[in-house]
Chain A
């Protein structure tokens, strides 16, 4: 088989997925000499590496979140351009997850592996769409790899949020959303749906949101909650980290409608646990049909599953006649999703 022996030059280690001839780790869990980073979320982009190769946007995100000096050297690779590292051709192509997110395409000795990082297939106005690449081995995530996960169209979920804002004009709407990607996507979808009032942010969300705006993503008027009189927040749309919704921080809003934008909101048990009034099923990860379709589209013979509900995905792909296995990589979380 074409994929035979790829695991001799690309394989999991305790520090993460390692490409031996390039001497580089992809999204390593701890500090290494050379890292290739798929995107800026903190469980993928960690500080302390000697050198980091990533898209220009991911580099910018890492600098804002981790500091200019977080790694020894940042190298921004243009999307689609082939680089040669220790004889391995390396190319970054869009993954559709968040701004700057990329799949890593690795070619060596006539074999091709694609490491997806996190990805989704549904439309997102804040990043480039996922580009399927034919390959021998496809390394995929599996955050939402159960057939119960079929995400709603994000636009219709945001429409529910805006309806609730109209129905409760005196109540601030406190939307828990992951600070990198989800927050800006929700804002942009609200703008696309015609919401033109200022949108208020928790302090933790300000810097990355500005970065998005500097990268040409129009988000309209953004204000910091901290700079606003509580009285002016009645009926406002406010985004904050998910944990802040039930934190003491939220007590400044007298009678808020609490919301949570996440793929997990598909499951009522998770909704109950989060205690929010308005669950919004908005995810930046592929849902079950997207995962299966993507794997099939790449025509990979062998599929490696990095993190998430790998048992169901491995089972389903095996059932369909593919080779599939779980890498059980450590260090990845189910994200503040």
Chain B
């Protein structure tokens, strides 16, 4: 348990991806089986799905910790698991030999995995007694669900790839057929066994991804070589159906089947591997992304959810049909097979992403130019002759997002970055002007730049500028600070940032009642007086009107 606790603890303060990878590779190389397998599970899918942590801790604290001191400490620390780990009193018998050996990670798993709910408290108490402070913290984080240490499942798998020399896609392909503690996987990774067999269970096949189209791509672009589709504003999914087993994978290979039971049912009994877009759709109309967000990351789906936010899959590729792997075929042939398959099977809650006909670059430009008006995110361009290649191969698939919206906003707060950016104020919160309902009676406060108006935040961005620009903004922030809260500085409202974003929508995230999708700093307007920045009303006008959503209906192909 100590090695794993040290790994988790160190990961929380290691900012760089490279640093995290090194730590993970070191751990997976040196930790024994089955500990490392359980650690892998903890970092990817979580170890214990439903332990009554809160209730068990309450029971334990009653007998072990003074309630007043606990309340004062919890207030100060701000995190229950951490507070308990830090103040857990040494057990009455202090000789380590009598307390029992420090439990290994696999012992922890064994003692908790099948514990009845009423037994969780005493088991936890015994484990806490036998661990040091770091171990106690790690244990409580584990029991509390996925430990948030900045490691994605993908990064953990990348570490396995690095440790073994296998491609990460080879690991992803078999991942969902494996189970903790992944002993067969580690045998293979360490060269001591064969590659585990997926055994006919539905598994994830790494996706083919598109590049954003760039200027130089157009010079070799020939209209007759490409198919066009609308770019849908949902999430990419892979549907793997093998008889009674149906899985829905996200683009990173996370199994999200549990959140979308109606889609699972729609594909029961089929033998197929499909690529498509998961959407929320009502009566054939695609709902805004925000509606889909309500369905994501939910372990339990209520009947109400299913009714109010119905899921739908828009299919655009067929990878495996029955037992036939089509990935070597051209997109043209796969498309024909997809249409034929769909015509024959007609699964509910699904349709096919239509091809958008075009003959010339000009026609394509016109379609793209209308994208925002028609409520479409943009276009996908797929080379007719391309096989299905996992990863992001160059020159095959392109995404051409609709032109960004922009707003002139005023910098309000700047926060220090992390890692290499830790001495730079690099994360910016910006706002737009709102007219004050009741202008201040006392005249304008000194330094009031735009009397009768206040700034309300609309978003936060930390990209889009060059290193040289970062240095300049950093200097501006330091020279115009009005208040400092830890790593955050409030600045005088003097600097106008032209912010580019894909969409703006109603949200309680910011005081303005608006939030942006994919905001980034487009230009720094040193020249622009702050009172000429945009207003909240202007920002609101950029929201997509519900009426425009009718256009989200799939344009007809025939």
> Could you say which residues of chain A place their CB within 8 Å of the CB of B19?
277
Residues of A within 8 A of B (CB): 146-150, 245-248, 250-251, 255, 258, 266-269, 271, 273, 275-279, 309, 311-312, 315-316, 319
Q: Which residue of B lies closest to A315 (CB)?
A: B68
A-B interface contact total, Cβ < 8 Å: 70
Assess A146 versus B12: contact at CB under 8 Å? Given A255-B420, A269-B79, A275-B418: no
Q: List 24 A-B contacts (CB under 8 A).
A: A146-B76, A146-B87, A147-B69, A147-B73, A147-B86, A148-B76, A150-B86, A150-B133, A245-B422, A246-B416, A246-B422, A247-B423, A248-B423, A267-B77, A267-B82, A271-B12, A273-B487, A275-B422, A277-B15, A277-B19, A277-B419, A311-B72, A312-B72, A316-B66
How far is the CB of A166 from the nearest CB of chain B, in Å?
14
If over half of B's interface residues share one DSSP class (helix, strand or loop), that class is named, otherwise mixed; here it is helix
Q: In the bound complex, do residue B420 and residue A268 qualify as a contact, i.e. CB atoms below 8 Å apart?
A: no
> Could you say which residues of chain B place their CB within 8 Å of the CB of A147?
65, 69, 73, 86-87
Q: Which of B13, B86, B422 contacts A271 (CB 8 A)?
A: B13
Q: In the bound complex, do residue B416 and residue A312 qualify as a contact, i.e. CB atoms below 8 Å apart?
A: no
Assembly CA distance A337 to B73 (angstroms): 19
How far is the CB of B193 from the nearest CB of chain A, in Å?
31
> Could you say which residues of chain A place their CB within 8 Å of the CB of B87?
146-148
Max count, chain B CB within 10 A of own CB: residue among A277, A311, A315: A277
- B83 interface residue, CB < 8 Å from A? yes
How far is the CB of A334 from the nearest CB of chain B, in Å?
12
> Could you say which residues of chain A place their CB within 8 Å of the CB of B14?
277
Max count, chain A CB within 10 A of own CB: residue among B15, B69, B79: B69
Interface residues of B in 86-103 (CB under 8 A from A): 86-87
Residues of B within 8 A of A (CB): 12-15, 19, 65-66, 68-69, 72-73, 76-79, 82-83, 86-87, 133, 416, 418-420, 422-423, 486-487
Q: In the bound complex, do residue B13 and residue A148 qualify as a contact, i.e. CB atoms below 8 Å apart?
A: no
> Could you say which residues of chain B place their CB within 8 Å of the CB of A248?
423
Assess A278 versus B13: contact at CB under 8 Å? Given A148-B76, A246-B416: yes
> Could you say which residues of chain B place their CB within 8 Å of the CB of A273?
486-487
Assembly CA distance A258 to B419 (angstroms): 9
Assess A312 versus B69: contact at CB under 8 Å? Given A147-B87, A148-B76, A150-B86: yes
Q: In the bound complex, do residue A279 and residue B83 qualify as a contact, i.e. CB atoms below 8 Å apart?
A: no
Q: In the bound complex, do residue B423 and residue A250 qualify as a contact, i.e. CB atoms below 8 Å apart?
A: yes
Q: Which residue of B lies closest to A289 (CB)?
A: B90
Assess A319 versus B66: contact at CB under 8 Å? Given A271-B13, A275-B418: yes
Q: Which residue of A lies closest to B425 (CB)?
A: A246
Assembly CA distance A275 to B13 (angstroms): 8
Q: Which residue of A lies closest to B87 (CB)?
A: A147
> Could you say which residues of chain B place their CB within 8 Å of the CB of A278?
13
Q: Which residue of B lies closest to A254 (CB)?
A: B420
Beyond A277-B15, A315-B68, 7 additional pairs, beta carbon < 8 A: A149-B86, A247-B423, A251-B423, A255-B420, A311-B72, A315-B72, A316-B66
> Could you say which residues of chain A place their CB within 8 Å of the CB of B82?
267-268
> Could you say which residues of chain A place their CB within 8 Å of the CB of B78?
269
Assembly CA distance A251 to B486 (angstroms): 20
Assembly CA distance A266 to B133 (angstroms): 10
Max count, chain A CB within 10 A of own CB: residue among B19, B77, B83: B77
Q: In the bound complex, do residue A315 and residue B69 qualify as a contact, i.e. CB atoms below 8 Å apart?
A: yes
Q: Which of B72, B77, B419 contacts A269 (CB 8 A)?
A: B77
Max count, chain B CB within 10 A of own CB: residue among A147, A247, A250: A147
Q: In the bound complex, do residue A309 and residue B72 qualify as a contact, i.e. CB atoms below 8 Å apart?
A: yes
Assembly CA distance A273 to B416 (angstroms): 10
> Could you say which residues of chain A place their CB within 8 Å of the CB of B76?
146, 148, 267, 309
Assembly CA distance A194 to B15 (angstroms): 29
How far is the CB of B484 from the nearest CB of chain A, in Å?
11
How far is the CB of A146 from the nearest CB of chain B, in Å?
5
Assembly CA distance A267 to B78 (angstroms): 9
> Could you say which residues of chain A place their CB within 8 Å of the CB of B422?
245-246, 250, 258, 275
Assembly CA distance A149 to B65 (angstroms): 14
How far is the CB of A26 from the nearest CB of chain B, in Å?
28
Assess A266 versus B86: contact at CB under 8 Å? Given A150-B133, A277-B15: yes
Max count, chain B CB within 10 A of own CB: residue among A245, A275, A316: A275
Assembly CA distance A148 to B137 (angstroms): 12
Q: Which of A146, A247, A279, A315 contacts B13 (CB 8 A)?
A: A279
> Could you say which residues of chain A place their CB within 8 Å of the CB of B77?
148, 267, 269
Q: Which residue of A lies closest to B415 (CB)?
A: A275
Assembly CA distance A309 to B423 (angstroms): 31
How far is the CB of B82 from the nearest CB of chain A, in Å?
6
> Could you say which residues of chain B place their CB within 8 Å of the CB of A311?
72
Assess A277 versus B423: contact at CB under 8 Å? Given A246-B416, A309-B76: no
How far is the CB of A119 from the nearest CB of chain B, in Å?
21
How far is the CB of A314 from the nearest CB of chain B, in Å?
11
Q: In the bound complex, do residue A146 and residue B69 qualify as a contact, i.e. CB atoms below 8 Å apart?
A: yes
Assembly CA distance A316 to B14 (angstroms): 37
Max count, chain B CB within 10 A of own CB: residue among A146, A149, A266, A316: A146
Q: In the bound complex, do residue A268 and residue B12 qualify as a contact, i.e. CB atoms below 8 Å apart?
A: yes
> Could you say which residues of chain B place their CB within 8 Å of the CB of A267?
76-77, 82, 86
Assembly CA distance A311 to B76 (angstroms): 12
How far is the CB of A268 from the nearest CB of chain B, in Å?
6
Q: Which residue of B lies closest to A249 (CB)?
A: B423
Assembly CA distance A150 to B69 (angstroms): 14
How far is the CB of B148 from the nearest CB of chain A, in Å?
11
Q: In the bound complex, do residue B68 and residue A275 qualify as a contact, i.e. CB atoms below 8 Å apart?
A: no
Q: Which of B13, B65, B69, B420 contacts A276 (CB 8 A)?
A: B13
How far is the CB of B21 from the nearest CB of chain A, in Å?
14
Q: Which residue of B lies closest to A248 (CB)?
A: B423
Q: Which residue of B lies closest to A258 (CB)?
A: B422
How far is the CB of A152 from the nearest CB of chain B, in Å?
8
Q: In the bound complex, do residue A146 and residue B72 qualify as a contact, i.e. CB atoms below 8 Å apart?
A: yes
How far is the CB of A294 from the nearest CB of chain B, in Å?
18
> Could you say which residues of chain B place their CB within 8 Å of the CB of A275?
416, 418, 422, 487
Q: Which residue of A lies closest to B12 (CB)?
A: A268
Assembly CA distance A114 to B322 (angstroms): 85
Assembly CA distance A278 to B9 (angstroms): 10
Q: In the bound complex, do residue A316 and residue B423 qualify as a contact, i.e. CB atoms below 8 Å apart?
A: no
How far is the CB of B90 from the nearest CB of chain A, in Å?
9
Assembly CA distance A146 to B69 (angstroms): 7
Q: Which of B73, B79, B423, B486 contacts A146 (CB 8 A)?
A: B73
> Could you say which residues of chain B place their CB within 8 Å of the CB of A268?
12, 79, 82
> Could you say which residues of chain B place their CB within 8 Å of the CB of A247?
423
Q: Which residue of A lies closest to B13 (CB)?
A: A277
